[in-house]
Amino acid sequence: MQDAAEKPAITPEIVAEHGLKPDEYQRLLKILGRAPSLTELGIFSVMWSEHCSYKSSRVWLKTLPTSGSKVIQGPGENAGVVDLGDGDCAVFKMESHNHPSYIEPFQGAATGVGGIMRDVFTMGARPVANLNALRFGAPEHPKTRHLVDGVVAGIAHYGNCTGVPTIGGETNFDAGYNNNILVNAMCVGLAKTDKIFYSAAKGVGLPVVYVGSKTGRDGIHGATMASAEFDDKSDEKRPTVQVGDPFTEKLLIEACLELMATDMIIAIQDMGAAGLTSSTSEMADKGGVGIELILDHVPQREANMTAYEMMLSESQERMLMILKPGRESDAEKIFTKWGLDFAVIGKTTDTGRMIVTHKGKVEADLPVPVLANSAPMYERPYFHPVPPAPVLPEWVPAPNSLTNALTTLMASPALASRRWIYQQYDHMVMGDTVGRPGGDAGVVRVHGTQKGIAATCDVTPRYVAADPEMGTKQAVVETWRNLCAVGADPIAITDNMNFANPERPEIMGQFVASVKGMGEACRVLDYPVVSGNVSLYNETNGIGIPPTPAIGGVGLVPDVSKIADIALKRDGDLLVVIGLERGWLGQSLYQGIIASKFEGAPPPVDLADELKAGRLVRALIREDKVSAVHDCSDGGLLVAVTEMALAGNLGVDLYPYEGTLPPHAVWFGEDQGRYVLSVSPAKAEEVLERARLLALPARVIGKVGGDAITIRGDEDPTPLAKLRSLNEAWLPDYMAGH
C-alpha cells in the first residue's frame, strides 16, 4: 500500500462524495479489515453504485422468467442470446444513458449508442440493427427543443458513422421528463451459435490485454453520477460525460470480429460503466481467478494520470481481453492493422485478488469475490400503489365531430409524425433492412438467408403511472403485438427499467408492481427476459419521472418475403378489426387531449386472447390472406386506420358503428389485443370465421378507396392530404422554432 504520508485521509466528506452512505462505508471497512486507499474507495464506490450493482432491484429481478427453448444466454452477460435456427443467433440488449444525455445531449446520446453496440459485439455478434426509446419534457419547456436536437443528432451521428441501421424506436413528450429525459438505446446483433464469446477469465497466468482507444479523464464517476438524482447544479457534472468516436468504434468492431474468427480469445469484456474496474473484477470473478494490473502499461491520452483516474475512467471504445498465452503478438498485428492501441496490462493469478500497481506502488489490493459480489442487496420498503377505478365510456364527453377529434389528435405532439427524427438515421445501410421505421416493428434480413429479425420497443408511461402492474404488462404485450403484426414469432425481451428514487416507498412500490406485471406477461406469452438495465434515481429536486419500464422485443421472421406492414395497398379491400371492443377511454389520448384530463384505470390486458390473436395474425400473414396489418394502440381504432391510410396513401370509407357503446369510445378507446387487417373481399369471410372459431370478436369496419377518411354519418370526408399535412408539420415546425 501507499506510505501513510502519501495516503490521503478518507474523511466522511470524501466518502459521501463517492456516493457511499455511512453504513455502506462501515461495511467496506469490515470487509477489508482496514481503511481503503483513495483508489480502493473509488473502486468500491463504482462497483457498489446502483448503476453497477443493482442493489435496490436485484431481489426483484430474480423473480423474472429468463429461460426458454430458444434462450442460449439469459441475464448475467454483456447481452442476451437467442437461437434463430440453422446455427444463427440474435444477441441483444437495451441500456440507458439518461443522465449524461440531459447534461450533454449530443455526446450523452452518442455514447449510449456506442456502449450498447459494444455490449453486443463483445459477445461475438455483428451489430445489425439499432433502436431507441426517447422521452423528452413538455414541448413548451425551455430546454426541450435543445435536448431533442442534440440527442437525435448524437444518435444519428454515432449509428450512421458505424454503419449500423437504426430501424425503429419511439419518442414521447411529457412534462414529467422536463428535468430528467430518458435515452434508452437498444442494439441487435447476429452471431453463429458456435462462436459466442463470454466474459469469464478462466485460467491462471493468462495475459490481460487492453485494446481500442486510449484512456483519458472523461467519464470519471459516470456510474456514480448515473446512480444519483439531479439538482439545480447538474450542469456542473458535464465532465462526467464521456466523449465517443464512432469511427474508432467501427474499427474496433472489425478488429474484434477478425480476432474472434481465430482461436486466440479466452474471454472478452467491454469497458463500460466503471471502465477498467468493472471489466477486470467481473471477468476475474466469473473465472474464479485473481488479476494483476500494471497501470503504467495502459495506453493513456493525457499526461500524469493517477491510478484512481485510470481505474475509474469511462473513456469510450475500449475492450479488455484474456488471450491464450503466446498469442499476444498475433493479436497485436490485427489491432495494429486497424490503427488501434494494443497493450498487455496484466495477467490472471491464483490469488483471488485484484492487485493494481502504478509506478512501482500497490494502489489497490482487494479480494475479487468481495468486490464483485459484496454490494449491499436491499429489500427496500415499499407499498403497492392502489390502482384507480375504471372510467366508463359514457362518462367521457363525445366530440362535436369524430373527424375533428381525429385531426386534433393526429396534429398533437403525442401522435405527430416522427419522420423528422428517423429521417436523420440511416436505416438502409448494410442492405438488409426489409421493414423500415414508421411501422409496428423494424425487420432486418439475416444476411444471406430468407430469415429476418424483427425488433421493436415500447411502453406507455401514462398507463404505468396509473397502474404499474397492468401498465407494464401492457408494455410487454405491445411489443408482442408489434412483432406479430409484421409476421414475426416473438422470442424474448430486453428491458430498461427507468424509475425515480427507490428509497421512497411509493417509487419502490411502482418498481415491484412493474416487475410483477412484466413477469406475468412474459410467463404466459413464453416471452422470457434475456437482458436488461435498471436506471433509478431519475428525478430532479425530489420530483420523479413517470415510471417508464421500456420493453424491447425481438422475434424471428421465418421468411422475409412473407411480412406485413401498415400501408394500405389495394382499392376495394375490406378492413377487419379483430379483438374485444370495450370502448376503454381511461388514460387514453382522447381523454387527455380532447377531454383535457388523464384519469382512471388503464386498459386491461387479456393474455389468453393476446396469444390467440397473435397466432392468428401471424398465420394470416404467412398464408397471404392480408395485405396490411396494424395493431391498435395510442389513439385507438380510428388513429390506427388513419395511420394505415397515410402510409399507403389510400383513403377509407368507414361504416357507422351499430353496437351499444358510445361511437367515440369505439373509435378512440384504447382497448388492447386488437389488430386492423386489410383483406380482399373474397377472403374476408374466411378471416372473420377463423377469428370466431378462436372466440375472438371480429367485424368489418370499412372499405379501402378514395383519398379521404370518411366516417358515414359524421361530417364531410377529411382529405388525406389535410391529415398528412397536419401530422407531418408539428415536429419540423417545432424544431424550427415556429
One of 97, 358, 630, 664 is an active-site residue; which one?
97
Residue 365 backbone dihedrals phi, psi, to 5 degrees: -145, 95
Q: Is 519 helix (H, G, I), strand (E, B) or coil?
A: helix
Cell numbers placing 657: 358503428
Say whether 97 is catalytic: yes
C-alpha–C-alpha distance, residues 247 and 329, integer Å: 24
- 602 and 585 Cβ atoms separated by less than 8 Å: no
Please name the helix (run of DSSP H) or strand (run of DSSP E) that holds residue 510, with its range, or none.
Answer: helix 505-525
C-alpha–C-alpha distance, residues 353 and 227, integer Å: 27
C-alpha–C-alpha distance, residues 696 and 121, integer Å: 42
In one-letter notation, the amino acid at residue 150 is G
Give the burial string for 419-448 (b: 16+ CB within 10 Å, else e).
ebbbeebbbeebebbbbebbbbbbbbbbee
Helix/strand/coil (H/E/C) assignment for every residue in 116-139 = HHHHHHCCCCEEEEEEEEEEECCC
Name which of 473, 429, 513 is nearest 605 in CA terms: 473
Residue 635 backbone dihedrals phi, psi, to 5 degrees: 90, -15
- 96 and 112 Cβ atoms separated by less than 8 Å: yes
C-alpha–C-alpha distance, residues 573 and 550, integer Å: 35
Cell 447544479: give the residue. 233
- 501 and 539 Cβ atoms separated by less than 8 Å: yes
3-state class percentages of the chain: helix first, strand second, coil last, to nearest 5: 40, 25, 40
Cell numbers placing 692: 370466431
C-alpha–C-alpha distance, residues 77 and 322, integer Å: 16
Residue 266 backbone dihedrals phi, psi, to 5 degrees: -95, -40
Cell 392480408: give the residue. 626
Cell numbers placing 322: 484474456
Catalytic residues: 51, 97
